[in-house]
Structure 1
Amino acid sequence: MQFMEAFMSKIVLVGAGGVIFAQNFLKDILTDPELRTHEVTLMDIDAGRLANAVAVAGLIAAKLGIRFTPHATTDLREALNGANYVITIFRSGTIRHQELEYEIPMKYGVDQVVSDTLGPGGIFRGLRTLKDLFEVLEVMEQECPGAYLLNYVNPMSMNTIALSRRARTVRVAGLCHSVQHTSRQIAEWTGTPYEKLRFLAAGVNHMAFLLKLEADGQDLYPKLRACLDRPEIYKKEKVRFEILRHFGYFPTESSGHNSEYLPYFRKRQDLIDRFCRNDFPEVDENGIDWNSMSAGVSGASVQICRGLQIRNEKQIAGYLDGSREIDLASSVEYGVQIIAAIEKNRPLAANLNVMNRGLIATLPPECCVEVPCLVDGGGIVPGRIEDFPEQLAAIDRGMVGAQILGAQGALDGDRRAIFHAIAADPNTQSKLGLDEIRSMTDELFDALADVIDPRFSR
């Protein structure tokens, strides 16, 4: 009797040479007895980094006592041919480009922390990232139509809008770990076992809110509000707790990020000193303060990214020379969990970034929202949020205008739309007049011309 060979899906990691982030996905795949039998391809444009990723994958497999030989290639088309799931985890450009996205706005008085999601830096990061993501999408349409594109690359909302508008058959979803990390923080702060925590989170990426927060049928918000009076907690997340104090709900991304999405915290130096000072510095031997970005210190992400580069290279070297052990604990990332839910038809609830289209009725249908989704053998089914608090919708509407305009500008190669996107940014609005915004935008176009779509040239 002959049996048909079971269908095996193809999973592709684009940007696998980053190794550390890819390592989480490789662990999640290889610790799953079913998924590790599927075809896995690692792709990166840097052959040396790619070789390191393959070596680390071999170490994980050896530690698990299994055989695993991923396909590795620097050729995007080869990697994507016949793929079912594509996870994008690459970085576009260099730290120097990131510095320019901070330094030029700061010269005009626009103070940023991370500049990867909103603001002048976030919009231009979107332009240089989408230049590469559009290439991935186009090759997917040709080589694996109908596949899932699971994107981790920021700016999440702007990228998701642009990719979703351009996609013809490819199914696009944006993935972030803000909700997972924040829910774990809240469990710790309130003394709640994580497995007992029940929450409903929705809004816009990096500015979603915990709409419901419970354990054992009891509302946990009173315990969370009590943290306003606990300096050891409040001072670590001053901006987020001020948002809770004044708007009634807790957001799902760090204070450093949130401080640059709103007009309230970075418009004057006294406000920056009050709400964005790092009260718990953690400086390593290289002079990197690891708590500076989460606290909201100006330009901290550039320093943190340099530190991560140093730390990651040491970590990879340690894995390869045997001086460092690989931890096989599963990650909190949704990427492989989504693939497993679809392949095994086992329900998964995950907060994903998708086009709104009525999911939150008080936000524009053409924006990107982060909402709970049901994932199973039928695919990804986003959930509709009823009665989204109006004060939260007002905050998120302040973000989505810039994101929609930025995505439209990226799609059309339209400099004017990019100017409008930056002019719509709440932090920029709090600091500059229109002539200043135009001059700043033109200077950013000139400085970053080598890494954005040539259509933007004057």
Structure 2
Amino acid sequence: MSVRIAIIGAGSVGFTKKLVSDILCVPELQDAHIALTDISAHNLGMAEEIVRRVVEANGLPTTVSADTDRRRALEGARYVMNCSRIGGLEAYAGDIRIPLKYGVDQCVGDTICAGGIMYGQRNVPAILDFCRDIREVAEPGARLLNYANPMAINTWAAIDHGGVDTIGLCHGVQNGWRQIASALGVPRDELEYICTGINHQTWYVDLRHNGRRIDRDELVAAFERHPVFSSQEKVRIDVLKRFGCYSTESNGHLSEYLPWYRKRPEEIERWIDMSDWIHGETGGYLRYSTESRNWFETDFPAFLAEASQPIDPARRTDEHASHIIEALETGRPYRGHFNVKNKGIVTNLPADCIVESTGFVDRFGLNMVAGLSLPMGCAATCQASVDVQRMAMTAAVTGDVELLKLSVLHDPLVGAICSPDEVWQMVDEMLVAQEQWLPQYAEAIPAARERLSRGTVKTRDWAGAARLPVRSVDEVREATASRRTMGVLGQRPGA
């Protein structure tokens, strides 16, 4: 009997195509059943059409189904991938817009900071619903492969409260490895590394080129002389100099997890680069996502035509999901970096938190390398985020407004900018604005609305220190064609 693989949030059409194409590069998985599900029938229909085109163009025995009824899609599934974005771009816009009124300027806002914490409040109830359905209708022992952010909060909730074997997956480690190899001017297959930490704050604690260890000074010199990275990665280079390790996370991401680089508007431009959204632009990923949605809707026929091309196993991506499934089903080992419960994997982070660290997968399951330690500075920044994540996850499960506010208050960037009164009012405003996606706060939101009506904290109408307008479809198409010509169009860095 063929394995059934379900994808929740399959309406993320481009990413779904990538994941399915990777799976179909594995001969033993080509007779799989791919079950797609999404709450948007329109997006789901596009995803189904593209996946069926891939299957048909390659003459594969793969079967495909698409259903807005999630439970039907999950029936008998051995693997479930979660790619959902709860609240879509409408809710996400509030994650960026409302904190700006209180002076909090985010580039992405999907992990911690005010936006990421609220994103978690929307996601956790849905994650627990997914887990309930997996327990009830999927194959016994089914695994959840979570791609949705906020990674640590979602994975933590699924394991502690969802009762499902869950692995969190991100591609930040792979992207950083490619960048380091480019900066050093060495082939990627000659560069070995160990990464550990927490998602979006993972650190290359050991780098070796053909067995020779790369130290901090050599890496700093490589990045500072690079004609592009030297201007695009100012935060990462500064952190490398001070902490001794390079962060997996992009300049824009890293800048919003720390309290030092975005707290004064007049200094933000010193640390960011506007050549692409990921380098620190205000609301950069929101703009990128909005443009991508508009472009995809308009250029869908072109994407469908691309789906007719033969699958090339040599171009299989390094997204973890297909490699994990291959290892579990065939026994061929796979080494990667995965988000799991710590339990001694990283010795100087709490045992209960979610870490992203080195592990191996084979037919016997996921086996993590234990006993790794972070440099003290790296551990300190991770610990600050872990405390925020723990409070945010617990608040999302219980609907505890006071704990939610404490999690935002303790966020490193928010705490560097906002007073307690500002945090309390900002959270009330976000709760009221996002009420439809926050069932766990249904009883608490009327009181938040009342407090907000009597609020005395002054806010401002501010677009941020480095905001760019959303481009038209034609402008995006032209820019994309230009980047493709220059050979710089690649994977989006980990978000």
TM-score by length of 2: 0.85
Indicate conservation of the 8 Å contact 1:346/1:377, yes or no: yes
Question: Aligned equivalents of 1:395 and 1:124: distance in 2?
Answer: 20
Q: What does residue range 340-379 of structure 1 map to in structure 2 within 5 Å? A: 340-379=326-365
Question: Aligned equivalents of 2:295 and 2:311: distance in 1?
Answer: 16
- Secondary structure class of the residue paired with 1:70: strand
2:111 counterpart residue number: 117
Is 2:292 the counterpart of 1:297? no
Amino acid of the residue matched to residue 279 of structure 2? Answer: A
> Which has the higher mean CA deviation after the structures are superposed, 141-150 or 110-119?
141-150
> Measured at CA, do residues 243 and 8 of structure 1 come closer, stay the same or move farther in structure 2, by a change above 3 Å?
same
How far did residue 194 of structure 1 move? 1.0
Q: What does residue range 192-231 of structure 1 map to in structure 2 within 5 Å? A: 192-221=186-215, 222-226=217-221, 227-231=223-227
Indicate conservation of the 8 Å contact 1:127/1:453, yes or no: no
TM-score by length of 1: 0.92
Indicate conservation of the 8 Å contact 1:319/1:326, yes or no: no
How far did residue 105 of structure 1 move? 1.0
How far did residue 224 of structure 1 move? 2.1
> Measured at CA, do residues 201 and 29 of structure 1 come closer, stay the same or move farther in structure 2, by a change above 3 Å?
same
Which of these residues, 239, 242, 248, is aligned with residue 246 of structure 1? 242
> Measured at CA, do residues 147 and 47 of structure 1 come closer, stay the same or move farther in structure 2, by a change above 3 Å?
same
1:147 counterpart residue number: 142
Amino acid of the residue matched to residue 102 of structure 1? Answer: I
Q: What does residue range 435-450 of structure 1 map to in structure 2 within 5 Å? A: 435-450=421-436
Q: Deviations over 1:34-62 (max 9, x none)?
A: 11112221112222322222221222223
Amino acid of the residue matched to residue 269 of structure 2? Answer: D
> Measured at CA, do residues 297 and 380 of structure 1 come closer, stay the same or move farther in structure 2, by a change above 3 Å?
same
How far did residue 416 of structure 1 move? 1.2
How far did residue 66 of structure 1 move? 2.5
Question: Aligned equivalents of 1:424 and 1:323: distance in 2?
Answer: 46
Indicate conservation of the 8 Å contact 1:202/1:385, yes or no: no
- Secondary structure class of the residue paired with 1:12: strand
How far did residue 136 of structure 1 move? 0.7
2:478 counterpart residue number: none
> Measured at CA, do residues 361 and 383 of structure 1 come closer, stay the same or move farther in structure 2, by a change above 3 Å?
same
Q: Deviations over 1:161-185 (max 9, x none)?
A: 11111133x2011100000111011
Amino acid of the residue matched to residue 340 of structure 1? Answer: E
1:36 counterpart residue number: 30
Is 2:410 the counterpart of 1:424? yes
Indicate conservation of the 8 Å contact 1:414/1:456, yes or no: no
2:230 counterpart residue number: 234
> Measured at CA, do residues 229 and 457 of structure 1 come closer, stay the same or move farther in structure 2, by a change above 3 Å?
farther
Indicate conservation of the 8 Å contact 1:449/1:457, yes or no: no
Indicate conservation of the 8 Å contact 1:366/1:404, yes or no: no
Question: Aligned equivalents of 1:390 and 1:438: distance in 2?
Answer: 32
Query: What is the total number of aligned residue pairs between the two structures?
Result: 439
How far did residue 343 of structure 1 move? 0.4
Indicate conservation of the 8 Å contact 2:125/2:397, yes or no: no
1:4 counterpart residue number: none
Q: What does residue range 1-400 of structure 1 map to in structure 2 within 5 Å? A: 7-144=1-138, 145-168=140-163, 170-221=164-215, 222-226=217-221, 227-278=223-274, 281=275, 291-292=276-277, 294-320=278-304, 328=312, 329-400=315-386
Indicate conservation of the 8 Å contact 1:202/1:372, yes or no: yes
Question: Aligned equivalents of 2:150 and 2:96: distance in 1?
Answer: 15
- Secondary structure class of the residue paired with 2:34: strand
Give me the identity figure in percent. 33
Indicate conservation of the 8 Å contact 1:98/1:302, yes or no: yes
Question: Aligned equivalents of 2:311 and 2:302: distance in 1?
Answer: 13
Q: Deviations over 1:329-372 (max 9, x none)?
A: 21220011101000011111110101112221211122111011
How far did residue 71 of structure 1 move? 2.0
Amino acid of the residue matched to residue 219 of structure 1? Answer: R
Q: Runs of at least 4 residues of structure 1 off by over 4 A? A: 321-328
Q: Deviations over 1:279-302 (max 9, x none)?
A: xx3xxxxxxxxx02x211112222
How far did residue 68 of structure 1 move? 3.1
How far did residue 373 of structure 1 move? 1.4
- Secondary structure class of the residue paired with 1:430: helix
- Secondary structure class of the residue paired with 2:355: strand
Amino acid of the residue matched to residue 153 of structure 1? Answer: A
